[in-house]
Structure 1
Amino acid sequence: MPESITTDFRSLALSTDATSVTQLDVKDTNATNSTAELEATIENLIHRCSTLSDEVETYVAAVVAKQKQTRVQHPVEYRNLRNDFKNELAFLKKIAVVHMDEEKVRHFIVSSNLLYYEALWNAAKNTSGLQAFRKYFYWDKKGRNTTKGKGGASKGKTNALVDIVANEGSQWLRVSTLSEKRLLFDLAKLGWMNDSDSDEDMPEARPSSEDDDDDEDQVDIVRSARELARAAKANPIGGRPPKVHVILTRIIAGKTKEIDSILNKIRATGAVVHCANDIPPAPSLELVLPRLLIDRSRALSDTLNIDCTILLALVSDISHKPCPILDWYPGEVRAQIQEEAEENLLPTHLYPAISSHAMVTTQEAAEQMDLIVQTLATDEEKIRAEVLLAQGDHAKKTPDDLVQAWKSFSDHPVPPGFKLPIRVVTSNIELLLHKLPAVATRLSVELGALNRAIFLFGWAERLTTLSANRGRARQIETVINEVGLEEGEDGPHIWLCGESRSLIAKHGRRK
């Protein structure tokens, strides 16, 4: 369950500003408020929650539209966020219509989680590449990842709740509306506070590790930070643990030595701490919505490394014009023709990514495409292959002539600045391995010769590799996460296309 505002009734304060994150003021719970004042309080809460809910729905609509266009490999997990806001709004509206005595109304008001949800959404709007909300990550005693896909729970395993998964998975945020008074109260219960002014009586912050066994002697926020550190280590992305950020919306740093000691304990886990005095104001959704969406094209390198699967998709008749489904076509080809009729691969997926980028491909990828083209290609597919790499009759054509020739064999317009030819480059595996992290040596053994040349070249040259080879991309990701990367090392950047296209085949072949 989310942190409840009931953690500190005395600090609840009312605000008539729907955009501000304030607290409901019920300091004097014995005071007799009029029915009109209570109704105004509830209406204010409903207005604030409704405003947030509307923003979330706008965000979700943008996510759905973006994912329909790009077919992302890992869909954004927004359902928890959406349902939480819907439930909170329904809860507040119920208070407004149900007749009950004032004491019960006040009880329901302080039971609202609106303050937390406001803090959560404001924190989200200050990030980018939102991937998931209120998601649990799991690990076992050996520190291994036991998180199931699709939000499934792992029974009997240790878990940590991440409020916001941002930066396409590499950043975790934990949002807390814990007040200073409540934190000091929790410290007192643990016997951390005394009458001495000496810092010697305060516990020293020290780096935490998975072997720490004193979590039960820590306040909840420290225990949570340690759990997040373990979960992050067990759930790396791109070979590194996600960076944990702890956001404390009602804690001020540098004010109380006891609280500063707690902040130091949180930082000792490796987390970045954001206190009330350094949290930026929430920007308008309209201003930040584009960067909240997952957009893989933002990180593309200036020059793109094109693998064999994309080369084939670029020259395939299926990608360029309507194709009849002949009874001797293999099932895969027939399925691709049907998919293309519903959604065109080039204008919807590949062209937006390629745009005006220069392109290269390895000698191995070009030779593999040539082999397949000579075996299966139609006459037009053979011409496109020549145009794409400036070979054969098109070897001496200028880039502009190549683009014009490309247009003549396609029903789809090319993007502005589209560049041809794709330049064929030589890959030297031994030389590449000297440029790459140690994990590349293991991948060099596990990948076949073709994929080794393609993916290690792109990685070593810091180029984005465009590929439709999901299996190899998943294999690379798994190995890198198992072995890990050192500080300062980066993994390969692979732009994975959701669809592939085969050559349509000039001659009949078995289904």
Structure 2
Amino acid sequence: MEDTKENDQLQNSQTLAESLVGRCHGLLAEIDAFQEMLVQTQRNPQMVEVRSLRSNVFSETRTLEKVKEQVEEFVAAAAAAAAASGGDEEIEPRLMHALRSSNLPFYETVWNIAKTSCSGLVAFGKRFYWDGVEEEDGGGGKGKKRPGRDKRKSVFVDIVADDGEEWVKVSTISGTRLLFEMAKKGWEADSESDAESGDERTVLRNDEYSDDDDDELELVKLASDMRKAADCTRVRYRHARLRLVVPKIDEGESREIDELFKIIRGYGITVECGECTLDAFSYGKDSSLGAAAKLHLQQLLPTPFKHFTSTLNVDCTLLLALVSDLSHIRDIVPSPDLHKAIIRQLEVERERPLLNTELWPAMGARELLCTEEAAQRMREIVDTIGTETEKRRTELLLGAPPFNSWERDSILQKFQELSDNQVPADLKLPIKIVEAKAVVDSAVKQDKLPEVSSKVAQILSDINHSVFFYGWASRITTISSNRTVVKQVEAIVEQHRNGDEQLEGPPVWVCDTARSLIGKERGRKD
């Protein structure tokens, strides 16, 4: 009987090791498939931070593979010993501990929660700090790092989703373990009467609570840290939504835990409980991804244009990118006469064409307009250094005579003749030119712009004022590659927020890169 029990233990350990290694490979395959989707669909796939999770899973895979080999060797040795002596040996405790304490279930849970309840992924595993200074994250997952920051004043978020607008923390603590921790630190549920209704209600108390972090429950400290970090970080002028997922605990089974979750929700955090059912890894013999799995992964892709208005206000920086030879002509041979910045843009364009991967998708079938000042500045630059094809595209883009009387289809056809890229059939050309001053002046006079707009106006050039203030006053999205100005505007809004949580600056989408005109020679400062 004892021999059978020991033999079963050996077999179970071997089965568990094989199962864990197989699950690791399945999880890695899904992560790799998602990364491949990013490469195929995103201009800059690295903006979505997946490497941290993949690295952790890969490291766990290597560890479990080694343990699996050791288990197999031990099973073989035990079998040989049993044949020689007629008895069995128990599996080494350290090997069973390595299998049972694997981090794989946590990684699977994080991945599954992301697949089934998140969209617009920004990062797996990102640290956010609080230091009394609010930062505009922008949702790209690549916030500016400051040297020497205190990790004690930070929180590690497992999933950053909804293009930066949601932070998700996962805790795989069990109900039993949580109750043990609560008892150890003096947390208990008391009953007290409600004076108005006469009903009894449960209140969670901690008689031993002090300012010492040692007395604080891990989940409560986590909730507090998430709140502090979120209050010091903004994404598109808003604090991120916070979500805590506790899959191994069901509400309603323990009044102490239910009261604890009320405390956590008091920090403005959504708490989700209940076991997450992990999807079976749906791979064929060729390791191809199943249709259902693909759908989940597609949902995770960034959605950078979801806040766009039906009309877009195009900045001068992108007007130039829309007509540049760099954007339209393939296989341009770099010349020593070209500015280094142009040569670099040529290299980037070969890797990821700007129009196909970023600007065309951003514009879609939306109405396009620009201010008179932006159009005028663009014409000045094109007239000064533009090539003949760049000048021709400018006339088509802005509807200069005789194209102002042409039908859109005819303009698109002519524009296509000047491009090696496929021009979208729904692209709205020509771009409408609008007079910005009257609109902005009217908005100021009618107090349609916040008071901080006067502070913003002081740092903007005439052209930037017309572009960004027109979008602000008209409540339409401005698209630009002028990240420096956008960051300056965001900083001023935050400096003068004065407790107004609804305050927002102009709605702007920043293109990662732009394209200069190819005629820009080395040393020219235009």
Both structures adopt the same fold (TM-score exceeding 0.5): yes
Question: Counterpart of 1:168 in structure 2: which amino acid?
Answer: D
Relative to the length of structure 1, the TM-score reads 0.82
> For residues 96 and 342 of structure 1, what CA distance do their matches in structure 2 show?
42
What are structure 2's unaligned runs of at least 5 residues? 75-90, 138-142, 194-199, 281-291
Secondary structure of the equivalent of 2:119? coil
What are the residue-to-residue correspondences of 1:285-304 with 2, within 5 Å? Answer: 285-304=293-312
The alpha-carbon distance between structure 1 residues 182 and 143, as it changes in their structure 2 partners (threshold 3 A), is farther
What are the residue-to-residue correspondences of 1:404-419 with 2, within 5 Å? Answer: 404-419=413-428
* Higher mean C-alpha displacement, 181-190 vs 263-272: 181-190
* Higher mean C-alpha displacement, 453-462 vs 35-44: 453-462
What are structure 1's unaligned runs of at least 5 residues? 1-30, 206-211
Question: Counterpart of 2:406 in structure 1: which amino acid?
Answer: K
- Whether 1:41 aligns to 2:16 is yes
Identity %: 35
- Whether 1:345 aligns to 2:354 is yes
Q: Which residue of 1 aligns with 2:289?
A: none
Q: Is the Cα–Cα contact under 8 Å of residues 129 and 167 in structure 1 kept in the other structure? A: yes
> For residues 328 and 278 of structure 2, what CA distance do their matches in structure 1 show?
48
Q: Which residue of 1 aligns with 2:325?
A: 317
RMSD: 3.3
Secondary structure of the equivalent of 2:238? coil
Q: Which residue of 1 aligns with 2:399?
A: 390
> For residues 320 and 386 of structure 2, what CA distance do their matches in structure 1 show?
10
Secondary structure of the equivalent of 2:355? helix
Q: Which residue of 1 aligns with 2:177?
A: 182
> For residues 324 and 257 of structure 2, what CA distance do their matches in structure 1 show?
64
Query: How many pairs are equivalent?
Result: 470
Q: Which residue of 1 aligns with 2:478?
A: 465
Q: Which residue of 2 aligns with 1:256?
A: 254
> For residues 343 and 121 of structure 1, what CA distance do their matches in structure 2 show?
28
Q: Deviations over 1:166-185 (max 9, x none)?
A: 11211111100111111111
The alpha-carbon distance between structure 1 residues 421 and 53, as it changes in their structure 2 partners (threshold 3 A), is same
Name which one, 1 or 2, has greater alpha-carbon Rg: 2
Q: Is the Cα–Cα contact under 8 Å of residues 203 and 259 in structure 2 kept in the other structure? A: yes
Q: Which residue of 1 aligns with 2:56?
A: 84
The alpha-carbon distance between structure 1 residues 143 and 504, as it changes in their structure 2 partners (threshold 3 A), is closer
What are the residue-to-residue correspondences of 1:215-230 with 2, within 5 Å? Answer: 216-230=214-228
> For residues 146 and 279 of structure 2, what CA distance do their matches in structure 1 show?
28
Secondary structure of the equivalent of 1:202? strand
Q: Which residue of 2 aligns with 1:56?
A: 31
- Whether 1:136 aligns to 2:146 is no
> For residues 137 and 222 of structure 1, what CA distance do their matches in structure 2 show?
17
Question: Counterpart of 2:239 in structure 1: which amino acid?
Answer: P
Q: Which residue of 1 aligns with 2:187?
A: 192
Q: Which residue of 1 aligns with 2:82?
A: none
The one of 457, 464, 477 aligned to 1:451 = 464
Shift of 1:493: 3.9
> For residues 488 and 146 of structure 1, what CA distance do their matches in structure 2 show?
15
Q: Which residue of 2 aligns with 1:162?
A: 157
Secondary structure of the equivalent of 2:155? strand
Q: Which residue of 2 aligns with 1:202?
A: 203
Question: Counterpart of 2:101 in structure 1: which amino acid?
Answer: S
> For residues 296 and 261 of structure 2, what CA distance do their matches in structure 1 show?
29
What are the residue-to-residue correspondences of 1:319-334 with 2, within 5 Å? Answer: 319-321=327-329, 323=332, 328-334=337-343
Shift of 1:373: 2.8
Q: Which residue of 2 aligns with 1:3?
A: none
The alpha-carbon distance between structure 1 residues 196 and 392, as it changes in their structure 2 partners (threshold 3 A), is closer
> For residues 304 and 418 of structure 2, what CA distance do their matches in structure 1 show?
29
Relative to the length of structure 2, the TM-score reads 0.79
- Whether 1:442 aligns to 2:455 is yes
> For residues 293 and 491 of structure 2, what CA distance do their matches in structure 1 show?
35
Q: Which residue of 2 aligns with 1:9?
A: none
Q: Which residue of 2 aligns with 1:17?
A: none
- Whether 1:116 aligns to 2:106 is yes
The alpha-carbon distance between structure 1 residues 193 and 379, as it changes in their structure 2 partners (threshold 3 A), is closer
> For residues 133 and 145 of structure 2, what CA distance do their matches in structure 1 show?
21
Q: Deviations over 1:344-378 (max 9, x none)?
A: 43334322322332211112211211222333333
The alpha-carbon distance between structure 1 residues 95 and 319, as it changes in their structure 2 partners (threshold 3 A), is closer
Shift of 1:47: 2.4
> For residues 399 and 123 of structure 2, what CA distance do their matches in structure 1 show?
44
Q: Deviations over 1:135-177 (max 9, x none)?
A: 221222x355699746976246511111111112111111001
Shift of 1:267: 0.3
* Higher mean C-alpha displacement, 392-401 vs 177-186: 392-401
